Amino acid sequence: MRRVAITGLGVVGPCGTGREAFWAGLIGPAPDDERRVHDWDPTPYFPNPKEARRADRFTQFAIAAAAEAAETAGALNADPGRIGTLIGTGIGGIGTNEEQIVIQHVKGSRRVSPFLVPMMMPNAAAAAVSMRHGFQGPCEATVTACAAGTHSIGNAMRMVADGRCDVVFAGGSEAAFTPTALAGFGNMTALSTRGISVPFDARRDGFMMGEGAAVLVLEEWDRAVQRGATIIGEMLGAASTADAHHITAPAPGGSGAVRSMELAMEDAGLGPGDIVHINAHGTSTPLNDAAEAHAMAKVFGEPGPIVTSTKGITGHALGAAGALEAAAVVLAIEHELIPQTAGYEQPDPELPSIDLVVGEPRSWTPGPSMSNSFGFGGHNGTIIIGPGQ
C-alpha cells in the first residue's frame, strides 16, 4: 500500500472563501445570521458568463474550491488518466431543480431549461471539475447524505493507496438553501427552532443549515516528495459502515459510529491512544450528539482525545460537511491550533465527559486526527489525517 499525501486544499465556506479566510472564520466568533456563503460571485471562476449560468450553485462552489486546491498543490506533472475526481454531495443541484419545477408549473413544460438535467444531477460538480482541468481518471460522485464528503475523501485515499491513481481531487459540495429543502428539514424537526448551532450543548434543538465546498488534493507520497510539493497532511486511514437501523435516527449508543471509528484506526494501524484530536460530526441535534458522545466514550474512554465541532461556525453543510471538516483538520495541523466549539455554554448532564474545546481555540501538538460524518440512511464515515512530516 502506498502512502497518501495531502498536497492541496481549497475551500468555499459560510465563514470565508479561500483557505485563509475560512480558517480566520473558524477561530472567530459564531455568525449571528444564516450559515450561507454570502455575496457569492462565481464570475472569477468562469471566463464565460454563460458557463456560470449553466452551473448550479453547488457546482460553482466545487469549481472554486478545486481551483484553489490545484493552485496550492502546484504543478502535478501527472498523467491525466491517473488523476481522479471524487466530489460528493447530499442533494446536488436542488436549487436548479426547484426553480425549474416552478417554471414548469407556471409557464409550461416547453419553458423548462434544456440544462435542467446536467445542472441538477449530483455528479455535475465532479464532472465539471474533471472537464475544467482535463482529469481523465475515475470521476465519481458519492451521494451518502451527510457522510458524502468524508466518504469521497476516504474512497480517494484508497484509489491512491491501491495504485489506481497518482492524484485525486476529493471533497464535497452542497448548496441546499431552497424554500422546499428548508421546509422539508424544518417539518421533520431537524432544524433548530431557535436558529442556534450549539453542538453537545444542553440547549441544542436541531442543526442550522450550511453550504459550501472543500476539495483536497491527495497524492502518492513519493511522487509528491520527488516533485518538491509542500505536503500539508497525510491520509492515514478511512472506514465506512451502516447503522442498518433507521432512515434518520442514529443507532442506539452510536454502535455504527463505534464500528466506523474502530475500523478507521485498524486501517491506519493505530489504537485509541494514538488519536490526539477528533473533529466530531456534532450537528447540534439531540440524538446525533448524544449517540456520537457515547460512541467516542466507548472507543476512547472519558474524556478521550481533544474534541471540537466546527458546525458551531459553519452550520451543517450536509454532503459538504465532511469535506469542510477535513479541511478544518488540515488547517488545525498547519496552525497548531484547534478551533473552539462555538456556541457551547451549557454542559449536558446526560452526555459522557468529552474533552471539548470551548470558549477559545486551543494550542496543541498535532498528531493523528479523526474526522467523523454520519448521514441520514445510517451512513457512517471516518477518516484519519496526520501531519505532513
Q: Are 154 and 326 in contact (CB under 8 A)?
A: no
Torsion of CA 342, 198, 351, 282, to 10 degrees: -80
Cell of 253: 449508543
Question: How far is the C-alpha of 307 from the C-alpha of 354, rounded, in Å?
Answer: 7
**Cβ neighbour number for residue 301 with a 10 Å cutoff:** 13
| CA 274/CA 277 separation, integer angstroms | 9
**DSSP tag of 209:** B
Instruction: Specify the 3-state DSSP secondary structure of 156.
Output: helix
The C-alpha cell 424537526 sits at: 189
> Pairing state of beta strands 83-88 and 167-174?
parallel
Inter-residue contact 219 to 167 (CB < 8 Å):
yes
Q: For residue 90, what are the contacts with CB-CB under 8 A and spacing of at least 6?
A: 143, 144, 145, 146, 148, 174, 176, 318, 319, 320, 375
CA dihedral 35, 41, 45, 51 (to 10 degrees): 110
CA 226 to chain centre: 29
CB of 11 closer than 8 Å to CB of 65: yes
Beta bridge partners of 279: 308, 371
> Which of the residues are catalytic?
146, 281, 316
Q: What are phi and psi of 98, to 5 degrees?
A: -65, -40
DSSP string, 228-268: T----EEEEEEEEEE--S-SSSPPGGGHHHHHHHHHHHHHH
Q: Which residues of 252-268 are buried (b: 16+ CB within 10 A; e: fewer)?
A: eebbbbbbbbbbbbebb
